[in-house]
């Protein structure tokens, strides 16, 4: 097994058998198209760095991963944009498809297994209820099939291991995780529009009534609006510039740079982006 310079605990001994391994839990609503209905738990939750069971079943600890973009840092990009410190620029709006890896489908089994999603490079990511995270990338032009497992997103230093094939896995608990991840059945038979050599992991998810917030280990934060189906993707590019990509049924896909202290946007694309940012702020403030 390759450790890629990361600390690995033998046989993932710290992974405990939880409800999703025994089946002693109920399944929440599921969506294979990303249009699932929200959890009706009636609880009020604010966006916090501290992870709680209401978010994804993860223990209440800070997330800090050596070798992975820290969720604390990536949520700082989200907060900087949502708080109004950055504004969409009218200059250099890009309408090219780009190579940003984003979530295309998701399913919510947090009551039993965890939260799963598939990316536009074909990677299946599952954040399990015990705090572990699995990424499975299919063979592509960038390389062969790969599995990556983070034993616990709350652990410091993290225990990360990779395999080329499922048959190389010897630990029975890890095999169960791979088996349960396959139950999400999110991947389509068609080819994917982005090819990436990196095996992504899902590090954080938060779902409220009208929106879904996801954080990937590649440093991408994605907000899905559940009723209107728009997507807002926040990411940091070269020279630490922050960008926002909008995926919209009518306006297509485009990217704007988020700048400090700029003038109010006047172009329809950047104005729509600002409206989505305001909507995201209301969604998570109300929750």
pLDDT value at position 47? Answer: 32
- Look over the chain and give the mean of its residue pLDDT values, rounded to a whole number: 75
- What sign does the dihedral 206-204-247-277 (CA atoms) show? positive
pLDDT in tens, 130-183: 999 999 988 776 677 889 998 887 776 767 888 888 888 888 888 889 888 888
Give the residue, 133 or 191, on which the prediction is more confident.
133
Q: Considering only 51-55, 228-232, 271-275, which range has the smallest mean pLDDT?
A: 51-55
* Confidence (pTM): 0.73
Q: Which two tokens stand for residue 193?
A: 């529009």
Q: In which element (H, E) is residue 255 found? A: strand 252-259
> What would the mean pLDDT of 47-60 be, rounded to a whole number?
31
Q: Which two tokens stand for residue 149?
A: 């497992």
Give the residue, 220 or 9, on which the prediction is more confident.
220
pLDDT value at position 190? Answer: 55
Instruction: Decide: residue 257, CB within 10 A, 0-12 exposed, 13-18 middle, 19+ buried.
Output: buried
Query: Of all residues in the chain, what percent carry a pLDDT higher than 70?
Result: 69
Give the residue, 27 or 191, on which the prediction is more confident.
191
> What would the mean pLDDT of 107-126 be, rounded to a whole number?
91
Confidence of residue 28 (pLDDT cuts 50, 70, 90): very low
| Alpha helical stretches, state H, 143-232 | 172-182
- Asked if residues 251 and 260 have their Cβ atoms less than 8 Å apart, the reply is no
| Alpha helical stretches, state H, the chain | 19-22, 53-56, 71-82, 172-182, 268-286
Q: Which two tokens stand for residue 88?
A: 């969409």
- Give the Cα separation of 9 and 2 in Å (integer): 13
pLDDT in tens, 67-109: 454 556 667 788 899 999 999 999 989 987 667 889 999 999 9
Confidence of residue 41 (pLDDT cuts 50, 70, 90): very low
Give the residue, 286 or 49, on which the prediction is more confident.
286
CA dihedral (193, 131, 174, 168) in degrees, to 10, reads 50
């Amino acid at each position: 097994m390759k450790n890629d310079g990361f600390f690995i605990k033998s046989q993932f001994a710290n992974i405990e058998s939880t409800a999703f391994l025994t089946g002693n839990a109920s399944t929440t609503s599921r969506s294979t198209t990303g249009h699932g209905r929200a959890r009706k738990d009636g609880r009020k939750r604010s966006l916090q760095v501290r992870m709680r069971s209401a978010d994804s079943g993860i223990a209440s600890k800070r997330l800090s991963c050596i070798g992975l973009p820290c969720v604390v840092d990536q949520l700082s990009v989200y907060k900087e944009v949502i708080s109004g410190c950055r504004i969409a620029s009218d200059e250099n709006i890009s309408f090219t498809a780009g190579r940003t890896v984003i979530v295309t489908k998701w399913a919510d089994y947090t009551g039993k297994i965890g939260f799963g999603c598939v990316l536009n490079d074909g990677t299946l990511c599952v954040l399990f209820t015990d705090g572990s995270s699995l990424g499975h990338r299919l063979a592509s032009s960038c390389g062969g099939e790969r599995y990556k497992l983070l034993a616990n997103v709350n652990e410091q230093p993290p225990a990360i291991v990779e395999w080329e094939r499922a048959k190389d896995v010897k630990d029975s608990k890890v095999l169960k995780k791979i088996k349960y991840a396959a139950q999400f059945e999110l991947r389509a038979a068609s080819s994917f529009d982005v090819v990436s050599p990196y095996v992504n992991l899902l590090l954080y998810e938060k779902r409220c009534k009208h929106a879904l917030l996801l954080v990937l280990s590649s440093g991408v934060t994605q907000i899905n609006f559940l009723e209107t189906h728009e997507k807002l993707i926040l990411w940091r590019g070269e020279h630490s510039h922050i960008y926002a990509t909008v995926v919209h049924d009518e306006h297509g896909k485009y990217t704007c740079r988020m700048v400090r202290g700029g003038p109010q946007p006047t172009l329809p694309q950047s104005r729509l982006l600002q409206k989505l940012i305001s909507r995201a702020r209301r969604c998570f403030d109300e929750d």
